[in-house]
């Protein structure tokens, strides 16, 4: 029999249901893995051992009576520390929240528990989930299991690292600026950014604990070691929140295809606006070659709907407007003053501190115009999907970068094949799916000669989440998928 941490969450759930593995047995296995390996990567930052043991014992007793709680009955798992879990700390790396203990579950957590999951821990994030790297002054730095000198990504960096290292079988993350997709790519696991609005975010921090409104652009979704697990978890998580459930329900259309040869594929792997490293390009080309070998009809694209540069600029405006609405009053006032000063100095370009100050404090009138542009862009994407089932894009320009904590997002640099680029280039490939609210599944597609994972981003039409996940499953059937880091087998 395979070691428990080598099983997918789906297989583990099945073996628990069949009585081949006990929930308590699985939990103890993962707790032992955390005890052995977590000190190396610092992915799991809070545990509820006693509560999880009680819950696992109850799960085993329920099965002995012939009762099933749902699709995840007895499956132990962790969740990203942005989601409130009753009785556990929700700190998000913020010193002001270091003593905060949640009194209620986030909607996502409640749904996982209702499906039978046993939540035993929480995973690390950047401070207030606001970086592409996972480090903060409360819990410290999370390292990449493939190379501990490099970041696991962010903001779901603890989640992705814990999965890759076999410390948990399933995770849930959130994604506003690639926070599921970038860590999944850099740690070599699967991740799914759902269609916007598919999964409720109530109980997610930030915003402040107790916030009821859904944020713009941001979504919650699963991370896993198999595409099948993404499908399983999405089925648990998706659906209207309490206020809306009496009026509407979600009914996702079936996958457009299941076999690799059946998919109609478009792809864009190269653009002057968003250069990528040769090591990433080589793995992406290998996917194209695999598709050709299986008879897949694929077509390179010249550009993206709305134009890559223009649609990214729209994303940047909407993103900064959303952030500006949630920052503290004193900081907002400083940003307004800074916007005026930077405007006089003509230093309000995109991806600069001046640009952020201007866009974070822009008028509601400007937001209405941007929102109209977004809706037109969504129609452009919808028309593109009349001829394609999925569009393939890079997830991120480079493999995992070294830990870089000096400065801020606007003055850091990344290296792409020996040339320095702004740190904010890390957001460029994730922006198209986010601004249009589209589903995007990350698939681990191989390891570079330098020993680092590369991820592929599979984008679908709105609501076609099952199609992007099905394409990931088809690639797995063709031999492209998760590989365990050598030091965590």
What pLDDT, on the 0 to 100 scale, is given for residue 313? 96
Distance CA 162, CA 143 (A): 10
What pLDDT, on the 0 to 100 scale, is given for residue 181? 98
CB-based contact 143:236 (threshold 8 Å)? no
Domain final residue, candidates 371, 400, 419: 371
What pLDDT, on the 0 to 100 scale, is given for residue 327? 87
In a domain, 476, yes or no: no
What pLDDT, on the 0 to 100 scale, is given for residue 344? 75
Kindly state whether residues 312 and 181 are assigned to the same domain.
Answer: no
The sheet that has 76-80: what strands, in order across it?
44-47, 118-123, 76-80
In a domain, 68, yes or no: yes
Domain hosting 348: range is 308-371
What pLDDT, on the 0 to 100 scale, is given for residue 249? 92
What pLDDT, on the 0 to 100 scale, is given for residue 87? 98
Domain final residue, candidates 318, 344, 371: 371
In a domain, 41, yes or no: yes
Judged by DSSP in three states, 416 sits in strand
135: β partners: 141
In a domain, 293, yes or no: no
Kindly state whether residues 192 and 331 are assigned to the same domain.
Answer: no
pLDDT digits over 70-96, tens only? 999 999 999 999 999 999 999 999 999
Kindly state whether residues 340 and 218 are assigned to the same domain.
Answer: no
The pLDDT tens digits along the chain (489 residues) read: 579 999 999 999 999 999 999 999 999 999 999 999 999 999 999 999 999 999 999 999 999 999 999 999 999 999 999 999 999 999 999 999 999 999 999 999 999 999 999 999 999 999 999 999 999 999 999 999 999 999 999 999 999 999 999 999 999 999 999 999 999 999 999 999 999 999 999 999 998 999 999 999 999 999 999 999 999 999 999 999 999 999 999 999 999 999 999 999 999 999 999 999 999 999 999 999 999 999 999 999 999 999 999 999 999 999 999 999 988 899 899 999 988 887 877 778 888 888 899 999 999 999 999 999 999 999 999 999 999 999 999 999 999 999 999 999 999 999 999 999 999 999 999 999 999 999 999 999 999 999 999 999 999 999 999 999 999 999 999 999 999 999 999
Q: How many domains does the chain have?
A: 2
Kindly state whether residues 319 and 252 are assigned to the same domain.
Answer: no
What pLDDT, on the 0 to 100 scale, is given for residue 343? 80
In a domain, 52, yes or no: yes
In a domain, 292, yes or no: no
Positive or negative, the CA dihedral 320, 322, 325, 327 is negative
Kindly state whether residues 208 and 340 are assigned to the same domain.
Answer: no
Q: Strand 413-416 vs strand 419-422: parallel, antiparallel, or unpaired?
A: antiparallel
In a domain, 165, yes or no: yes
Kindly state whether residues 228 and 361 are assigned to the same domain.
Answer: no
What pLDDT, on the 0 to 100 scale, is given for residue 345? 74
CB-based contact 273:483 (threshold 8 Å)? no
Distance CA 483, CA 302 (A): 32
Q: Report the 10 Å Cβ neighbour count for 35.
A: 12
Distance CA 228, CA 207 (A): 31
In a domain, 273, yes or no: no
Kindly state whether residues 243 and 355 are assigned to the same domain.
Answer: no
Tokens 């697990």 locate to: 229
Kindly state whether residues 362 and 223 are assigned to the same domain.
Answer: no
Kindly state whether residues 366 and 232 are assigned to the same domain.
Answer: no
Task: Select from 312, 392, 405, 393 the least CA-distant residue to 359.
Answer: 312
CB-based contact 173:199 (threshold 8 Å)? no
Kindly state whether residues 28 and 130 are assigned to the same domain.
Answer: yes
Kindly state whether residues 121 and 248 are assigned to the same domain.
Answer: yes
What pLDDT, on the 0 to 100 scale, is given for residue 338? 86
CATH code for the domain in which residue 208 is found: 3.90.1300.10
Domain final residue, candidates 329, 347, 371: 371
pTM: 0.97
Tokens 């409640």 locate to: 110
What pLDDT, on the 0 to 100 scale, is given for residue 217? 98
pLDDT digits over 385-417, tens only? 999 999 999 999 999 999 999 999 999 999 999
Kindly state whether residues 234 and 315 are assigned to the same domain.
Answer: no
CA 376 → CA 215, 311, 369, distances in Å?
A: 20, 11, 11
Q: What are phi and psi of 90, to 5 degrees?
A: -125, 100
């Amino acid at each position: 029999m395979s070691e428990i941490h080598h099983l997918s969450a789906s297989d583990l759930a099945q073996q628990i249901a069949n009585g081949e593995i006990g929930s308590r047995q699985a939990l103890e296995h993962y707790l032992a893995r955390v005890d052995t390996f977590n000190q190396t990567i610092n992915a799991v930052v809070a545990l509820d051992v006693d509560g999880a043991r009680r819950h696992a014992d109850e799960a085993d007793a329920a099965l002995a009576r012939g009762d099933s709680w749902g699709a995840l009955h007895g499956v132990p798992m962790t969740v990203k520390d942005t989601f409130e879990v009753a009785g556990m700390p929700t700190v998000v790396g913020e010193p002001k929240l270091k003593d905060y203990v949640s009194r209620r579950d986030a909607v996502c957590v409640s749904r996982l528990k209702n499906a039978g999951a046993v939540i035993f821990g929480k995973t690390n994030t950047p401070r207030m989930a606001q970086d592409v790297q996972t480090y903060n002054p409360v819990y410290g730095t999370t390292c990449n299991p493939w190379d501990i000198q490099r970041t696991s990504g962010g903001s779901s960096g603890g989640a992705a690292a814990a999965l890759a290292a076999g410390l948990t079988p399933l995770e849930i993350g959130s994604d506003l600026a690639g926070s599921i997709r970038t860590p999944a790519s850099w740690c070599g696991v699967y991740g799914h950014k759902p269609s916007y609005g598919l999964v409720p975010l109530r109980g997610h921090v930030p915003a402040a604990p107790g916030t009821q409104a859904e944020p713009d652009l941001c979504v919650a979704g699963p991370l896993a070691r198999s595409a099948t697990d993404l499908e399983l978890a999405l089925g648990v998580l998706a659906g209207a929140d309490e206020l809306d459930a009496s009026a509407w329900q979600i009914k996702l259309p079936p996958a457009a295809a299941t076999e690799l040869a059946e998919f109609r594929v478009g792809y864009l792997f190269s653009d002057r606006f968003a250069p990528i490293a040769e090591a990433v390009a080589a793995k992406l080309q290998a996917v194209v070659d695999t598709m050709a070998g299986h008879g897949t009809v694929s077509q390179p694209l010249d550009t993206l709907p709305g134009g890559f540069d223009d649609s990214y600029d729209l994303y940047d405006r909407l993103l900064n407007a959303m952030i500006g609405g949630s920052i503290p009053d004193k900081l907002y006032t400083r940003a307004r003053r800074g916007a005026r000063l930077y405007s006089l100095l003509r230093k309000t370009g995109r991806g600069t501190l001046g640009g952020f100050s201007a866009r974070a404090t822009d008028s509601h009138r400007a937001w209405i115009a941007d929102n109209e542009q977004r809706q037109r862009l969504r129609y452009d994407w919808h028309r593109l999907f009349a001829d394609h089932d999925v569009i393939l894009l890079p997830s991120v320009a480079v493999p995992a970068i070294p830990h870089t904590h000096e400065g801020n997002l606007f003055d850091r640099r990344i290296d792409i094949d020996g040339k320095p680029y702004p740190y904010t280039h890390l957001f460029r490939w994730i922006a198209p799916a986010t601004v249009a609210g589209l589903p995007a599944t990350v698939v681990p597609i191989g390891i570079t000669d330098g020993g680092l994972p590369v991820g592929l981003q599979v984008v679908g039409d709105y609501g076609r989440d099952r199609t992007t996940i099905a394409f990931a499953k088809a690639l797995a059937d063709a031999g492209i998928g998760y590989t365990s880091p050598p030091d965590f087998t």
